[in-house]
A and B are shown apart, each in its own frame.
Chain A
Amino acid sequence: MSSLRPGNVGIVIVSHSPKIAEGAADMVRQMVGDAVPLAWTGGDVDGGLGTNVAGILAAIETAWSPAGVAILVDLGGAETNSEMAVEMLPEDRRARVLVCNAPVVEGAVIAATESSGGSSLAAVKRSAEEFYA
């Protein structure tokens, strides 16, 4: 589910559907290989469609990078749960994790591509969000 490449911004993919999250992660890998830390999570705590804070926290941990982590989400609950997870992080990490307002699949691929070039967290987020601009 991940590989560690400290230095580049990590990418976390959060979808209500584990299949979508995993599939988006596969597409990211195809684009950028192992150049960025990557993790995905999807599904509620019982394995149904939904998102859960514990899964998101674990994914952030897996994709952690000193450069920060960009989270790509699909629908409302994924965003709300991701923001909740960010607030529950240790204080020194909180400011280095951003939830992007971008489509989950396209945003993840663009964000990872930007990250693989060594861009900052702000630049990674901006690139992903250009989809909605």
Chain B
Amino acid sequence: MSLDRVARERLVRALARSVIEHADELTSLDQAIGDGDHGLNMKRGFEAVLAALPGLADKLLPEMLKAIGMTLVMKVGGASGPLVGTFFMELGKALPEQPSRADLVAATEKAIDAVKARGRSEAGQKTLLDVLVPVHAVLAGGGDAKAIATEAAQAADRTTPMQAIRGRASFLGERSIGHMDPGSRSVSLLIGAAVETLEFEVNT
């Protein structure tokens, strides 16, 4: 996979748009079981990412991902900033400039491990890991773009009946059951946008 400058800019814009356009939905999910700032926080972070264009897309893929991660760490706030930011930063550290699918599988695994360490969490606790981990399994298993996007959306849905063990929602105990995890929804939106853009690149 080789992303030229135009493709990198398209990817960044798609990622940012996916979150910014759903900011109100993310906030209302977070109002149900968190502190209600998730949509606003993620929007602020990705607006800062957009503001770093076009220079951001001049960077090669690994450097660009690291820069996105650092921007999210500094701007998002909440626990999501360090968690999502760490994912991008570690992905940037682990990926070569022109990654193969195997590179992508290996790099996302490292990035997911870093998110687990940052949040001291595992899948099953109603966090973004409940999307990242199953999506990684589909990626590693050879799933195509559609399978990856579908798994991302379904994995976010599967957080609805879960009881939160980590994050602010865990304060609610059983009352966290019945609401989708906002962080999982954000990550599923990002994955959906990434897959759609990358598939476009592969097919053209």
* A and B interact: yes
Q: What is the interface of chain A, defined by CB distance below 8 A to chain B? A: 16, 44-46, 48-54, 75-77, 79-81, 83-84
Q: A49-B35, A53-B74 are in contact. Are A81 and B81 (CB under 8 A)?
A: yes
A81→B35 CA distance, assembly (Å): 16
- Chain B residues with Cβ under 8 A from A46's Cβ? 44
Per-residue contact bits, chain B 82-122, to A (CB 8 Å; 1 contact, 0 not): 11011000000000000000000000000000000011000
Q: A44-B41, A53-B81 are in contact. Are A80 and B74 (CB under 8 A)?
A: no
Known: A49-B37, A76-B168, A77-B79. 7 other contacts (CB 8 A): A45-B75, A51-B78, A52-B75, A53-B82, A81-B82, A84-B81, A84-B118
Shortest CB-to-CB span from B40 to chain A, Å, is: 8
Q: Chain B contact residues: over half helix, strand or loop, or mixed?
A: helix
Q: What is the interface of chain B, defined by CB distance below 8 A to chain A? A: 35, 37, 40-41, 44, 73-75, 77-83, 85-86, 118-119, 166-168
A46→B40 CA distance, assembly (Å): 11
**How many cross-chain pairs have Cβ atoms below 8 Å apart between A and B?**
61
- Chain B residues with Cβ under 8 A from A53's Cβ? 73-74, 81-82
A48→B44 CA distance, assembly (Å): 12
Shortest CB-to-CB span from A29 to chain B, Å, is: 27
- Chain A residues with Cβ under 8 A from B83's Cβ? 80
